[in-house]
Each structure stands twice: as structure tokens, then as C-alpha cells.
Amino acid sequence: MESVVQNAESVIRLSLFFGLFVIFGVFEVLWPRKSLTSPKLSRWFGNLSIQIGNAVLLRLVFAIVGLTAVGFSAFIEANQFGLLHQINLPQVLGLLLGFLILDGAVYGQHLVLHKVPVLWRLHRMHHADTDIDVTTGLRFHPLEILVSMAFKFAVILMFGVNPFTVLIFEIVLNATSMFNHANMALPPSLDRVLRLFVVTPDMHRVHHSVHTAEYNHNFGFNLPWWDRMFGTYQDQPVDGHDAMTIGLPTYRGPEWRSPWRLLRIPFDNDTPRHAPDQGQGQGHLT
């Protein structure tokens, strides 16, 4: 089963990626949540150019290393490295525990990206988007992608997460990243139910607020439970979704939609560590 999964990994991931991208993109057109403040064409060109570059970069890295995350997990499993391989767990329980470990690790990594200045330099390219939509979920600096990959490999090595779990997690993470960045309106009653189990677009949009007190909340990508457990959950933006400002104060001009300028953001020394206060409140903290 796992060998079949590894061989079909690229086909499975690409098919789901393009399918979900189109679905969420259509939802954004039919049921937009928030009016866009920047020209969509130039934003999408910049964001998708970054995504294509990242895809090429990862292909090169995987070719050099000889392993994807799933392949690395298979190597770890074959050698019985990692904590989970030392514990005799039922297969389903092992899958669920491995998924929780990976998701908790992503939450922790995201928190660290905001707290450690040198890592924030990499991550702020993602936050500099002046609107938030399905392409924002693909917009990460190549150096951040490499850091994330190295961290993921370390977690897989430490805990021995099996290949099938890694593949499922990667698929879910890609899907939820597009979903929770999508500029689509969900009925409030549906949003209230969904955010008990998954990070919704309204929940994650708070994290893209220009206010420091808000973008340092709601770090989860898949599961909302980590934010609730560790006190980083904020229910709604203080200014409301319609009036809130997305992005960072410095990177608001049209020149920052160019992929070349986006790649330079980590090396820009004119920006403070955090966005300055702009009449921010604490919002609805829970």
C-alpha cells in the first residue's frame, strides 16, 4: 500500500491541488467575503510566480537529496527510527497520532516564525500581501520553504511518522492552506461549526490583519485546537472583516507585487520587526 502511495504521490498531490485551486477560485468569484484593494491580475502574477519558483526549487532539492518527505519517511520506517516505531500502536491510532504531531509541529513552527526576528524576515513576505485569497496560501519565500522542509524532516526523524500519514498530512495541509486563505463567504452558522474542527477563512483572516495584536494570533493551519489550547486564539478582528486592513504597513505600493521585489523582502532593512500600532485593540480574545 505504502509503495503504491509513494509512486503515485505526485499525481495525487497535483490533481488535488489544481482541483481545489479551481474550486476555491470559483467560490471567490461567486461568493466573495471581502472587497479586494489591489488589482487581482498583478497580485496573482506575483503570487503564482513565487509558487511556480518554489515548486521548481523543491524539485531540484528532492532530486539532489533523493527523497521527498514521504520518501524520507519510508526510509525512517525501514530503519525503525523515531519514537512511534518504538511503541506498538494500532495502525489507525498511529496514523491519528502522527497527524496530530505534524499539525502541532506546524503550529509551533508558525509561532516561531513570528517570534524569531531572522525567521520573521522570511515569513513577512507572506504577510505583506495586501489582500488575502487562495493565492496567498501559496505565497511563501523560497528560503522559508527550505526552512520548513528541513524542520519537517527533523520532526519525521524524531517521531517516526509513517509515509501514509505524511502523505495524507501534506495533502490536507495544502488543501487547508488554500481554503483558509480563500476570499469566500461562509454562512456565519456554518463558520461557527467548522471552526471547531478546522481553521476557517474568517478565523485565519484575523492573522493577516495589519495590527500586531491580531497577526500574532490564530497560528493554526489545519486544526484550530492549538490556538485555543495555548491562548493564541482570536475570534474576530476588532475592526470587523469588511473594514479590517490586510498586510503590513510598509509593503503596500504596487511595486511590491512584483515577484522580484517580493523575493527581496527578507533583505529589506527599512521595516521594523513588528507592524506599528494603528489604533489596535485586543479584539474578541478567547
Phi, psi for residue 3 in degrees, rounded to 5? -65, -35
Rounded mean pLDDT, 119-148: 97
180/267 Cα distance (integer angstroms): 28
Cell numbers standing for residue 182: 480563500
pTM: 0.89
Instruction: Report the C-alpha gap between 253 and 199 in whole angstroms.
Output: 30
pLDDT tens for 232-252 read: 999 999 999 999 999 999 999
Phi, psi angle pair for 209, to nearest 5°: -65, 155
Compare 194 and 63 and report the one with higher pLDDT. 194
The answer to whether residues 84 and 94 touch, using CB atoms and an 8 Å cutoff, is yes
Tell me what percent of the residues of the chain surpass a pLDDT of 90. 83
- Give pLDDT tens digits for 88-120: 889 899 999 999 999 999 999 999 999 999 999
What cell numbers appear for 164 in the block? Answer: 501514509
Packing angle, helices 142-159 and 40-65, rounded to 10: 50
162/216 Cα distance (integer angstroms): 32
pLDDT digits (tens, 9 = 90+) for 72-85: 999 999 999 999 99
